Amino acid sequence: MAKTILVIGSSGQIGTELVLKLRQIYGNENVIASDIRVANYEVMKSGPFEILDATKKRDILKVIKKYKVKQVYLMAAMLSAIAEKHPHKAWSLNMTTLLNVLDLAKEKAIKQVFWPSSIAVFGSSSPKQNTPQETIMAPSTVYGISKVAGENWCAYYHDKYGVDVRSVRYPGIISYKTVPGGGTTDYAVEIFHEAIKNESYTSFLNANSTLPMMYMGDAIDATVNIMRHEKFDKYTSYNIAAISFSPKEIAKVIKKFIPKFSINYKSDDRQAIADSWPQSIDDKQAKRDWNWNYNFDLESLVKLMLNGLNYKI
Ligand code: SER
């Protein structure tokens, strides 16, 4: 049976591609895109779109009723670097939207929720390598604080009200359709645009600043698959992992395809955020519980990015 899905934040980096994938699977008319600003052309022309401010619960409910929505993917959020500049706004946006959607699930207006968490839940006191699913989570960023709190709210609504909410902790996500806005891992997308345009890039993270990363295709698979999986007894926001690399390492692979490419380093405020995050993630629980695995390694990611940005390799 077709289910009607609402994606909130469909103009963002992940939302854009999530809508397109969900439309492929469930049919264009069954996936409603929504955001406070219009989405990219492909999203706008392939199915329904609503302008929606997710901080207003009544407005979300209106869209849910209009389309008889069963499932909500809440992708609207303020990312790490920009949240450091606007702490109150970030907290308010990230929390209000989540509590609105969780309340709607509690009130049975919808049946199922997806909410993205992040590697930003971890902080300097968490293990840096193979960071386990369950470990100390004392983030040093506003964004991380909102994600830890969000995970706890999801667990609370699940345990107390039986809300079916599912979640993964995304690493840095790399894609070519929509650029990320205001994150710490954004360099790994910018580097491709600059490599193609100028054959050089000045990284705002240090040469050896290793972070967990993932190609968008894998992130979308994780999202779709965790929502489809039958087994779901206990709320957990799952660690998911693919590849880890530093600016220096990705630059080396780009150079294979663009020989004149060169990279410089000039770190800024985002370095401290990166330094507080894990370098690699242990995702064995996601592998065990819902067969998670990734497909794209660093070399295939670089090829896909260059192709996607119309650079002939
Ligand atoms: N990519 C995100 C950021 O950099 C992490 O979740 O903020």
Decide whether any atom of ligand 1 lies within 6 Å of the 183 Cβ: yes
Place of tokens 């000039």: 266
Scanning 107-206, the segments in alpha helix (DSSP H) are 142-161, 187-198
Per-residue model confidence as pLDDT tens digits over 187-212: 999 999 999 999 999 999 999 999 99
Report the separation in Å between the CA atom of 62 and the middle of ligand 1, taken as the mean of its atom positions: 30
Question: Does 80 sit in the ligand 1 pocket, CB within 6 Å?
Answer: yes
pLDDT at residue 310, as a whole number: 95
Residue 121 — very low, low, confident or very high, per pLDDT cuts 50/70/90? very high
Ligand 1 atom at minimum distance from 172 CA: 1
> pLDDT per residue over 81-98, tens digit each?
999 999 999 999 999 999
Q: Of 67, 73, 143, 294, which is the active-site residue?
A: 143
What average pLDDT does this structure show over 51-69?
98
What pLDDT is stored for residue 173 in this prediction? 98
Q: Is the CB of 170 under 6 A from ligand 1?
A: yes
Mean pLDDT over 39-61 rounds to 97
- What's the CA-to-centroid distance between 28 and ligand 1, angstroms? 29
CA distance 142 to 80: 7
Tell me, yes or no, if 143 is annotated catalytic: yes
Q: Helices marked H in the chain — which ranges?
A: 13-26, 41-46, 57-67, 80-85, 87-106, 142-161, 187-198, 216-228, 247-257, 270-276, 284-290, 298-308
Counting from 1 in the atom list of ligand 1, the atom nearest the Cα of 277 is 5
The tokens for 205 are: 């993270």
Q: What is the mean pLDDT of residues 285-293?
A: 95
Which residue's CA is minimally distant from atom 2 of ligand 1? 183
pLDDT tens-digit series, residues 123-179: 999 999 999 999 999 999 999 999 999 999 999 999 999 999 999 999 999 999 999
| Ligand 1 atom nearest to 143, measured from its CA | 7
Atom of ligand 1 nearest to the CA of 80: 7
Whether domain 5-122+138-169 has CATH 3.40.50.2000: no
Mean pLDDT of the chain: 96
Looking at residue 233, what is its pLDDT? 78
Mutating to test ligand 1, I would choose from 168, 179, 184, 277 the residue with most ligand atoms within 8 A of its C-beta, which is 184
Assess whether the C-beta atom of 79 lies below 6 angstroms from ligand 1.
yes
Mutate to test the pocket of ligand 1, among 186, 204, 279, 281 (most ligand atoms within 8 A of CB): 186
Q: Residue 17 burial (CB < 10 Å; 0-12/13-18/19+)?
A: buried
Whether ligand 1 lies within 6 angstroms of the CB of 118 is answered as yes
Sign, CA dihedral 173-240-170-116, equals positive
Q: In angstroms, rounded to a whole number, what is the distance separating the alpha carbons of residues 20 and 119?
A: 25
Find the range with the poorest average confidence among 2-6, 224-228, 247-251: 2-6
Domain boundaries, the chain: 5-122+138-169
